[in-house]
Chain A
Amino acid sequence: MPGELAAQAVSALATVSPEPGAAKPEPLLIADGVNRHFGGLVAVDVTHVEIQKGAITALIGPNGAGKSTFFNVLSGFDKADAGTWSFAGVTITNTAPHRLARKGMVRTFQLTKSLSRLTVMDNMLLGAGGQTGESMVASVFPFTWKAQEKKNRERAMVLLERFNLAAKAQDFAGSLSGGQRKLLEMARALMLQPELVMLDEPMAGVNPALKQSLLDHIRDIREEGTTVVFVEHDMDMVRDVSDWVIVMAQGKIIAEGTPDTVMRDQRVIDAYLGAHHDQQLTASGDSLTEGTSS
């Protein structure tokens, strides 16, 4: 059931021309001339891209297209060789990751980073922002942080319920299954109440039934006013949940548009065919769905 904010996002994007680097009515994240190469290999070469505020944007592309590297650069985990980017109107080029997170831009990782020997609850609490007790001096005076800790714990419990992890709250995160770790990482990112979440393959290794509920979570996040960018290989998922799709291939953005437009785009089909020429694929938008889901 699309809510009010979702409808706004969709209508805002309706007028945007489906071209690489298209200007958005209300961009939250803008990147210009971002370049990252490893030796001779150009991993990322993005001339211009804008992410619409309040929308769910999917970033797709064949393996090795540079999606994760682009995420790493934007979120400060990797240094770009060139380029500038800004978040909510503030330049954040090469800003340290923890500062970005505090500004409201949080990401998850393709290879899940659960903190194994911390409990699920402690993982969640680590996500909460602005904690007084995280200062060394205040930490030895529990009265300065006990109340805040209690509130965070309640909020964490609500999120864990939502992500079907409440029963695991006191278990070590290392004892979770791969899919559960993906869920935990997403829930943990939400503890920060971010303005923008960047999810790198949040649904990889998650079973189909849970995928559906994850999609619902992603829609919920948008309903709360959070902007979502996610990388995903499963085209059904992309079609299902995203308001806008950006396609990367060989480091470049080759197409943009609503899910339907993009999947009919000849450049996109070529890019995927190029990457999957050993697979049986007909050049139609529909078979693309099968050929690329992994």
Chain B
Amino acid sequence: MDMGFVLTQAISQAIGVTAIIYLLATMGLNIQFGYTGLLNFGQIAFVAVGSYAIGVFMVQWQGSAFVPNLWVAIIYALLLSVVLALILGVPTLRLRADYLAIVTIAAGEIIRLVFKSTDALGGAQGINGKMGEEFYAINPFPQQDRFDFGPLSYTRNDVWVVTVGWVVIALLLLLTWALMRSPWGRVLKGIREDEDAVRSLGKSTYLRKMQALILGGIFGTIGGIFWAVAKQSVQPDSFVPAFTFFCYTILILGGAARVMGPVIGALIFWFLLVFIEQFLLLLIDNGTITFLEPTQVGPIRFILVGVGLMLLMIFRPQGILGDKKELALDAR
């Protein structure tokens, strides 16, 4: 174990599968919260729908005529995501902003507990099995054991997963950029600033809020689909409310309502989290730190990341990419 190992670990995690999942969910949150001002505290529900749709359709319902292959399962997953957004949005989006917050955070927990307690949906054991056969079958990378990029080393499957993940992210970023520079995006930003003003100018805000909720939810569901396919396992207790809060952390770290905000945020968040963990382990390993056990490192890294975020909020409250001028306007 040395400093090179610490850095390699941190970099590979910052661009790895977990970071990609969080990033996709955060990009959805950026559309909902960053641009439209919708307080979705249950982004994890959309992720869970994506993961479980793949798990249930590909493993529990294996061989059913209803789901012939992974691609169909993905389409179903996206449709279910839209259904979830409608269930959450129809009753709440006409009400004050806080209702959506309450309903989404509750929905996230309800969904997790329902999956956890229903055996047909995996129960407490979750779902394990082959969930991405068709996906790995089209892997174009040459047949060889490991792929080395400088100090980073990937298996053939991993390199395919990570490549597809970042290509999907790039496409969705492009879509976000195109949407947000358009008049449609302008209406969303107007809703964030003052919904009544936008309504007084003849725009249906309900429709636009619903569209933003659905689109952001779909981004989260894509993250969930990716999760199931990449990890080949879906565990109910992965889908905890803390996931959504980390997404908010990433979003605010990078800068909300900035197309690249979530990307910068996710890279930094995961790099720091893993760097601190590995660095502490290194120091314990070589005897520099004697007052910590390796098992204490997990919680401590979150404390240190928390301190880092506090410093960020003090010195750069608008996030890395944010515009300080914009933030100052709130004080007026």
| Chain A residues within CB distance 8 Å of chain B | 75, 77, 96-99, 101-102, 106-109, 113-118, 122, 125-127, 129, 131-136, 138-140, 142, 145, 149, 172, 174-175, 185, 188-189, 191-192
Contacts and interface: CB of A to CB of B under 8 A. Distances in A.
Interface residues of B, number: 31
Contacts of A145: 182-183
B330 A116 contact: yes
Nearest to A185: B197
Interface string B167-211: 000000001001100111111011011101111111111000001
A107 B196 CA distance: 11
A256 to B, nearest CB: 26
11 contacts: A75-B200, A98-B199, A101-B200, A101-B202, A106-B200, A117-B193, A126-B186, A140-B175, A140-B182, A189-B201, A192-B201
Contacts of B182: 133, 139-140, 142, 145
Contacts of A106: 200-202
B187 A126 contact: yes
Given A98-B205, A125-B183, A145-B183, A115 B197 contact: yes
A113 B196 contact: yes
B325 interface: yes
Contacts of A185: 197
Nearest to B201: A127
Given A139-B182, A172-B329, A115 B190 contact: yes
7 nearest interchain CB pairs?
A174-B329, A101-B202, A133-B183, A139-B182, A139-B184, A113-B197, A115-B193
A118 B190 CA distance: 7
A84 B243 CA distance: 50
Contacts of A175: 325, 329
Contact of B186 (A101, A125, A140, A192): A125
Max chain B C-beta neighbours (<10 A), residue from A140, A149, A185, A191: A140
Interface in B311-332: 325-326, 329-330, 332
